[in-house]
Amino acid sequence: MPLPDSAMVNLLASLRRDPTVRMTRTGRALIVWLHKHAVQCEDHQRLLEAVPDHCLEPMALFAGRLAERWALIASDLHERLEQHAPINEEE
């Protein structure tokens, strides 16, 4: 289920405040990139309206490929998170 815009803004703000992210050049670059490429609901419609009819198919393909890549990134991050999860010794 997608996060509402307010939750995404809060997540990005939390990352921006995290010293382990903001104190490195690559961390700061990541935050800038994420902020620049985050699509808010109000931007969504405006972006769709900017696509001419003859570009709908290539843009849909491009957006689909980006979605696949982001899904892979999310999957890799979740896998990494599971590897770092504390082990419950009671089991």
Does the predicted TM-score (pTM) go above 0.75? no
pLDDT per position as a tens digit, 38-89: 877 677 888 899 999 999 999 999 999 999 999 999 999 999 999 987 766 5
Confidence of residue 3 (pLDDT cuts 50, 70, 90): low
Radius of gyration of the chain, Cα coordinates, nearest whole angstrom = 17
For the chain, the DSSP string reads: -PPPHHHHHHHHHHHHH-HHHHTSHHHHHHHHHHHHHPPPHHHHHHHHHTS-GGGHHHHHHHHHHHHHHHHHHHHHHHHHHHHTSPP-TT-
